A and B are shown apart, each in its own frame.
Chain A
């Protein structure tokens, strides 16, 4: 069975702190894709990143970085120097062929 676990339900930080959102997944497939989505208070779902199972290189995009480790089945997301605008619910998701499985999300609150 496929599963995505985001054990952190809610995280609160003060602006400029670094924060890491954890994502652990389970799958028996050798080919799969992992995603992160952001859901700001306005409610829309915004795609952030896709990573395939054969590419374990870390990725950095501005203040965002992602650490994919197959050995621990983790795909963690770090925000450096957090800002109030980063406040949102963040979802990790997994797909192998046709079904996208979401974690339950981590609510990040960044206080000024």
Chain B
């Protein structure tokens, strides 16, 4: 089954404790991205990757890191989480060609709470 998986689905942590949210897709998509969803703000892009070893900042990259060492994986790293990073996080992937990305397919979401 074609899908995007994220782990963990739920995470409660404390300020400053490094964490990683994994994301994997089995559709051989070039493009992958991370979003956060907050009430009243919709979905905002954190980082994206057009292909292996290529990553770029989205609209809200501060406090986050990513890497793309393999095509299928795109982990999101919070080196020192803070309470304002409490949010619902989505990973997505899509087919990309000629510099255009098409519809994105989303993982199930990771609800992160930082106390």
A contact residues vs B (CB 8 Å cutoff): 31, 33, 35, 37, 43-45, 47, 50, 91, 95-105
Query: Interface code B20-37, partner A: CB below 8 Å = 1, 0 otherwise?
Result: 000000000001010100
- Cβ of B58 and Cβ of A47 under 8 Å apart? no
Would you call B90 an interface residue if the criterion is a C-beta within 8 Å of the partner chain's C-beta atoms?
Answer: yes
Query: How many residues of B are in contact with the other chain, CB < 8 A?
Result: 27
- Cβ of A100 and Cβ of B100 under 8 Å apart? no
Closest Cβ of chain B to A64, distance in Å, is 15
Closest Cβ of chain A to B45, distance in Å, is 6
Would you call B87 an interface residue if the criterion is a C-beta within 8 Å of the partner chain's C-beta atoms?
Answer: no
A-B contact pairs, 9 of them (CB 8 A): A33-B102, A43-B108, A45-B43, A45-B92, A95-B100, A98-B56, A99-B58, A100-B92, A105-B42
A104: chain B residues within 8 A (beta carbon): 40-42
B50: chain A residues within 8 A (beta carbon): 98
B contact residues vs A (CB 8 Å cutoff): 31, 33, 35, 40-45, 48, 50, 56, 58, 88, 90, 92, 96, 99-106, 108-109
Considering residues B42, B58, B109, which has the most beta carbons from chain A within 10 angstroms of its beta carbon?
Answer: B42
The answer to whether A91 and B43 touch (CB under 8 A), given A98-B101, A99-B48, is: yes
Main secondary structure of the interface of B (DSSP, over half): strand
B104: chain A residues within 8 A (beta carbon): 47, 100
B44: chain A residues within 8 A (beta carbon): 102
The answer to whether A44 and B45 touch (CB under 8 A), given A95-B101, A97-B100, A104-B40, is: no
- Cβ of A45 and Cβ of B106 under 8 Å apart? yes
- Cβ of B100 and Cβ of A50 under 8 Å apart? no
A105: chain B residues within 8 A (beta carbon): 42
Cα of A44 to Cα of B6 in the assembled complex, Å: 12
The answer to whether A102 and B100 touch (CB under 8 A), given A43-B109, A45-B106, is: no
The answer to whether A98 and B48 touch (CB under 8 A), given A43-B108, A44-B109, A47-B104, is: yes
- Cβ of A50 and Cβ of B48 under 8 Å apart? no
Closest Cβ of chain B to A38, distance in Å, is 11
- Cβ of A102 and Cβ of B103 under 8 Å apart? no
The answer to whether A102 and B42 touch (CB under 8 A), given A43-B88, A97-B99, is: yes
